[in-house]
Structure 1
Amino acid sequence: MIKKTLISTLLLLGTNALSNINVTTTIYPLYNIAKEVGTDKIKLNNLIPFGIEAHGFDPIAKDMAILSKTDLLISSGDLMEPWKNKIVSSLKIENKVFDMSKHVKLIEIEEKNHNEHDHEKDHNHNSNIDPHYWVSLNNYILMTKVITQLFIEKDPVNKDIYKENSDKYLQKIEALKIKYDTSLNSCKNKKILVNHNAFGYFADEYDVKQYSISGLTPESKPSAKVVSELIDLVKNEKINTVFFEEFASPKVAQTIAKAANVKIDTLRPAENISKIENEKGYGYLEIMEDNLEKLKFAMDCK
């Protein structure tokens, strides 16, 4: 009996050892899904450190070591990660890369909105596609389903665990989507001014006009003329809140809000979180729920 139990235990341990896939994600939304679906059945790394602005990230030697050992690299796409292809090629891990941007609904940038404030094209953004697709809850649902299937294909032994974790997480996403749908159907002024052009998918799905201080990346600095135009915009469009982002400088947003005598607040595109937030279990859904409350006030929703 003892011998039989020992054999069963060894077989179980062997199975678990084989089933721990080494997964690397590039940005936080992908990491959050992988963490929720994979739990302790995967070894998970996110390349961009917590608290770092995602657009300004460049891999270092430590990141190369992580990538060289990964079984699966889940990328958000070339537009957010212009550094990826050269590194993947040098490490010869092309067969381990999964590009999530090919599995979601993509939209084009509103060129009129981007150009009307006379911004230069952002570096490394050579396409008209908006790379911030995870801001759409519909896309986030797709991303969760895709990552679940990826894990099942890589590790069929733990298929039921991945499926159960995924179903639970999808229920939470769907519940939040219902909140968005019901809360934003009676807004009086569907216009927002944000730090950078990261909320296009949200704006597209809920018929919101998005204005941005900078372009596709928060590093873009508007000229004095643009700032003056944005102050007038806030006043003329009766925008009551100027939004900035936690991991980018709030100075320009503060200047505009003070001159226009309106509120200033954070609105997060969930590109990253802080280390403390991650340790406390504050993640994508919590960010999006907090965003909703701020958007309801900004757009005068009942």
Structure 2
Amino acid sequence: MKAETKRQRLTAVLVLLSTLVGIGACVPGQEPPPPPSQRLDVVVNIFPLRWLADRIGGDLVTVRTIEAEPHEEGHGAADDPLSEPDRELIRRADANLFAGNMSADLRATLEQWRRADPNARLYDISELNRLDLRPGPAELADDLVADRLDPHFWMDPQRMVVAADWVTTQLFSAVTLDEALKTNPDKYKTELEKRHGDVVIELQELDHDLNAALPEECRGRWIVPEHPAFMYLAMRYGLQQFAVSGLWSEDLPVQVRRQREKDLAKLFQADPRPAFFYTIDKDLSDEDRNQLSRLASEYGMTPGVLDSLEEEPAITGPDGKTITGYPDAMRANARNIAREFRCD
């Protein structure tokens, strides 16, 4: 009898504790986040859009990235750029937020999908005029979007502010189309606008920090990256980019290659000299990497490192640990440029 009484008391205590925990989990005056079954499924193709959707959407979204890599042709069966898991993600998503830097096959597949299905929720930020995309270097080749524009807008924090506006608009549009969420759209609009404001402040602080890290007094102003993804970074902070990507391609006419090599040699005859940079990008061939190393050694230099951030950051911070967030990854890029230019 005594053992049974103890069990009953223990059960009562556990029930009371679980009730108190449940009460403590709710903040007075604040509704709990929607359960996973009522969250928006958001699909992206690059890391910067994932960062924006996660930060602005918060508990309202579940964000996934498709497997298809930006420059990879024929990811799925029969040279289909989309694997079947990718197709399923896109079909089920409440919003597919893409940037235009993708293989020509993938871009064509998505465009065909969008034309065939009027209800397809496929949105390409590269079509947004407010981004003010500019003509990119020819070396970007298939990376260029319509009108030969450079899609790497996220290399400029001010263009990321414009992208944050766009992502917020797309997420709220998805709310109004969702049966479970559209019953209280004002609530979600307020939440999205609050987090959007926080992200804009974060991006403005990043812009301030990059300006401070790359002052006009820097020793050099020309960067020579392995991959020409840094035009908007260069434009925003008074730098200029001379990319060597494709310089040794068999498709490049010999006369064009020789002229570009002469142009590069002329840059290195000036003072201050440019700075070489490897790009953290697993898609770049070892042959290009070896050629860049050879070229840099001719000028007595060892390349630094920049991260194009199309995929999850691979660049490291001062402590040697890999960075996970967009702002810190951009600060690391700026630090590496400043180090090569011997900025104060």
TM-score by length of 2: 0.69
When the two chains are superposed, the root-mean-square deviation of aligned CA atoms in Å is 3.6
| 2:224 paired residue among 183, 186, 193 | 193
CA contact under 8 A between 1:213 and 1:230: conserved in structure 2?
A: no
Amino acid at match of 1:29: P
Report 1:137-148 matches (<5 A): 137-148=157-168
| 1:242 paired residue among 259, 276, 297 | 276
Report 1:1-302 matches (<5 A): 16=35, 19-48=38-67, 54-56=70-72, 58-77=81-100, 82-83=107-108, 84-89=110-115, 92=117, 95-101=120-126, 102=128, 103-109=130-136, 114=138, 122-123=141-142, 125=144, 127-155=147-175, 156=185, 157-185=187-215, 186-214=217-245, 226=258, 229=262, 232-233=265-266, 235-237=268-270, 238-239=272-273, 241-247=275-281, 248-249=284-285, 250-273=289-312, 282-302=324-344
Secondary structure of 2:303 counterpart: strand
CA distance in 2, matches of 1:85, 1:127: 16
Larger radius of gyration: 2
CA contact under 8 A between 1:22 and 1:70: conserved in structure 2?
A: yes
Distance apart, 1:124 and its partner CA: 6.6
Distance apart, 1:276 and its partner CA: 11
CA contact under 8 A between 2:280 and 2:314: conserved in structure 1?
A: no
Secondary structure of 2:133 counterpart: coil
Tell me what 2:179 maps to: none
CA distance in 2, matches of 1:275, 1:209: 24
Distance apart, 1:242 and its partner CA: 1.2
Secondary structure of 2:148 counterpart: coil
CA distance in 2, matches of 1:108, 1:193: 18
Percentage identity across paired residues of the two chains: 16
Amino acid at match of 2:107: P
CA contact under 8 A between 1:241 and 1:264: conserved in structure 2?
A: yes
Distance apart, 1:166 and its partner CA: 2.4
Larger CA deviation: 21-30 vs 226-235: 226-235
Secondary structure of 1:263 counterpart: coil
How many residue pairs end up in the alignment?
280
CA distance in 2, matches of 1:124, 1:147: 22
Amino acid at match of 2:302: K
Deviation per CA, 1:75-94, whole angstroms, max 9, x where unpaired?
2137765232124345x265
* Structure of greater relative contact order (alpha carbons < 8 Å, 6+ residues apart): 1
Distance apart, 1:192 and its partner CA: 0.7
Distance apart, 1:178 and its partner CA: 0.4
Secondary structure of 2:245 counterpart: coil
Pair 123,259 (structure 1): closer, same or farther in 2 beyond 3 Å: same
Distance apart, 1:268 and its partner CA: 1.4
